[in-house]
Amino acid sequence: MPTGVYPRTPEQRAKTSVSLRGRTRSVEHCANISAGKKGRRFTPEHCAAMGAARVGRKLSPEHRTSISTAVRGRVYESRRVPVGSRHQTGPYTWIKTVDGWRREGRVVAGLEPGDGRVAHHEDGDKLNNDPGNIRIFESSGAHTRHHNAERRALGG
C-alpha cells in the first residue's frame, strides 16, 4: 500500500471503517502515538504563531460556503438572543446577560462570574430565585461545610 496522502475511494473508506469498528487501542499503541506527537504540535509558541497568523483574516467565499449552514446558524443564533431572555436547563433557570448566559440565582444574588462565591437556595428549590431564599457563601468550601453540618444535624 502506498504511503502518504492519496485519494481514497468510497469502497476503501468503507472497508477501513468496518475493519476499525469496535477495536480499542492498546496501551502501547497509545504511548507510541503520544511519543510521536511530543514537542511537535500545539506548543505555546505554535499556538501563538497560528493565532497571530489568523488575526484579521477574512474568510474566502469558498471557505465560507464550505462551513455548514447548520453550524453557522448555531453560532450566530446564540448571539441573537436578547439580553434578559430566560432558559430552563435541568434544575436551573439561566438568564442572558451582557456577559453571556448565567444562572438566574447568581444574577438575583448579585454575584459576578468567577468571584468564587456560591448562591445557596435555602429551601433546596433551585427554581425559587426569590432574594429571601438565596444565601451567599464566600467559598465553595464554606458551602460544603454548611451541607455537612445539615447532614450531621439530621443524623446522616
The 3-state DSSP class for residue 6 equals coil
Mean pLDDT of the chain: 77
- With vertex at residue 97, the alpha carbon angle to CA 94 and CA 101, rounded to the nearest 5 degrees, is 40
Which three three-digit cell numbers place residue 142? 464554606
The mean-pLDDT minimum among 43-52, 86-95, 147-156 falls in 43-52
Position 8 scores a pLDDT of 75
Which tens digits make up the pLDDT trace of 121-151?
999 888 898 999 999 999 999 999 999 999 9
Which residue, chain included where needed, has cell 472497508?
15
The DSSP result for 38-104, as a single string, is: TTTSS-HHHHHHHHHHHTTPPPPHHHHHHS-HHHHHHHHHHHHSPTT-EEEETTEEEEEETTEEEEH
Which three three-digit cell numbers place residue 119? 448562591
What pTM was estimated for this model as a whole? 0.47
